[in-house]
Amino acid sequence: MNRFLLLLLLAVAILPCRADNATPSPSASATGAPSPSAVPIPSASPQHSPRPSPTPTPGPLAPSTLPGRGLAQHDFFFAGEAHTQDMYIVRKGKVVWSYHSPIAKPEISDAVLMSNGDVLFAHMGGLTEIDSDKKIVWNLDAPPGTQIHTAQPIGHDRVLYIQNGPAPAIFVVNKVTGKTELQLPLEAGNLKNVHPQFRHARLTAAGTLIVAHMDMGEIREYDVTGKVIWSWKVPTHRGPWGVERLATGNTLLSDGGHTVYEVNPKGDIVWQFTQTDAPDYRFWLLQNVYRLPNGNTMLVNWFNQWTGTPDPSNLPLQAIEVTPDKKVTWALRSWTPPAALGPATTIQLLDDSSIIPEHVHFGDIH
């Protein structure tokens, strides 16, 4: 009996020690919380810039008196990444059309006003086309775990878009038949972090596609077979955001920070605009950038609503227009009624009615 009691006491003393030193199961860490490998990867990253937005230094964000004629400088279509989906058409200095989504969906990353009055826009959760009466005429939802941040109409029947995700790809879909007519795989910097993979992409006059690989810090040009025929690394190591091929063959892009580059086919920087070129105009984050018919460049300055709200006494700019010698000729700042436009991402000028945005092609796809 004494021997049995002694063995029992020894077993009781040993058991806690063995439990304290046991190897944690694969689904739990030593603290009892799920281990990193067991934590599910979210299907969508938070709806904000993939890296901290480069906020302006303290002080006035722009001169009290701005150059140009304000809303009357250009006729334009306006959309932006914000908490809500809002779009506007401004003509002769007044808002003549507006859209406010009845559904709480954020972040219009790309939008195109087509020649028939329809608007095609990418809103992270998919693609939507509405007519001038604001009725949905076509919609495509992004599959779970993916996002769509850029799209471009090809004629009135097809749409090209890029799908961020664990298997990112370029797609061309036929809106009439509902069939995917082309799918080309893309490389991304991180297949598990979907949100920052890609932003703007635009077709060129040659029928190729220029893509901003945001999480790789690189611009790549693809032919219709998916072959990379040109690429350029952003020297600031930031993620490129807006990109377009110019009539000269050069490429214009923003670095997702405070710098815009014009690069020739050899990869040489032939023009550059930075915050120091316009010290009185403070930028939050430059998104889309456009070369205008008059040779000037329009820079779209995005304000990140996910980091706060604008200061009514020091409102940020939404866009500036600069000459080749970097003189600011126009600045847009319209945050209050009757034209409370909100954060800016896309500003499509409407001054020239002969421009047909959907008259583009990808290889032999028209």
- Model confidence pLDDT, tens digit, residues 230-277: 999 999 878 999 999 999 999 999 998 999 999 999 999 999 999 999
| Average pLDDT for the chain | 87
In the block, tokens 């219709």 appear at 224
> How many C-beta atoms lie closer than 10 Å to residue 294's C-beta?
10
What pLDDT score does 236 carry?
85
Torsion of CA 295, 268, 331, 306, to 10 degrees: 140
Lowest mean pLDDT among 100-104, 351-355, 359-363: 100-104
Is residue 36's pLDDT more than 60? no
Q: 53 or 283, which is more confident?
A: 283
End-to-end CA distance of the chain: 94
Mean pLDDT in residue range 305-310: 90
Question: What is the pLDDT confidence band of residue 104, given thresholds at 50, 70 and 90?
Answer: low
How is the beta sheet containing 169-174 ordered, strand by strand?
A: 147-154, 158-164, 169-174, 180-185
Torsion of CA 14, 15, 18, 24, to 10 degrees: -170
Is residue 12's pLDDT more than 50? no
Residues 281, 62: contact at Cβ < 8 Å?
Answer: yes
Q: Which SS3 state, helix, strand or coil, does residue 126 take?
A: strand
In the block, tokens 């991180």 appear at 190
- CA–CA separation, 16 and 22 (whole Å): 10
Is residue 44's pLDDT more than 60? no
What pLDDT score does 340 carry?
97
Question: What is the pLDDT confidence band of residue 135, given thresholds at 50, 70 and 90?
Answer: very high
Residues 76, 350: contact at Cβ < 8 Å?
Answer: yes
Q: ∠360-364-366 over CA atoms, to 5°?
A: 40
Q: b vs e for 311-343, b when ≥16 Cβ sit within 10 Å of the residue's Cβ?
A: eeeeebbbbbbbeeeeebebbbbbeeeebebbb
C-alpha 264: how far from chain center: 24
Q: What percent of the chain has pLDDT over 70?
A: 84
What pLDDT score does 105 carry?
72
Helix boundaries (H) for 34-165: none
pTM of the model: 0.84
Domains of the chain from N-terminus onward: 70-349 (2.130.10.10)
Question: What is the pLDDT confidence band of residue 301, given thresholds at 50, 70 and 90?
Answer: very high
- CA–CA separation, 231 and 253 (whole Å): 12
What pLDDT score does 57 carry?
62
Backbone angles phi, psi at 183, to 5 degrees: -145, 120
Question: What is the pLDDT confidence band of residue 283, given thresholds at 50, 70 and 90?
Answer: very high
Is residue 18's pLDDT more than 90? no
Q: How many CA atoms lie within 13 A of 52 on its CB side?
A: 3
Is residue 364's pLDDT more than 60? yes
- CA–CA separation, 341 and 283 (whole Å): 17
Mean pLDDT in residue range 164-193: 98
- CA–CA separation, 360 and 366 (whole Å): 7
User: Closest Cα to residue 330, out of 63, 15, 38?
Assistant: 63
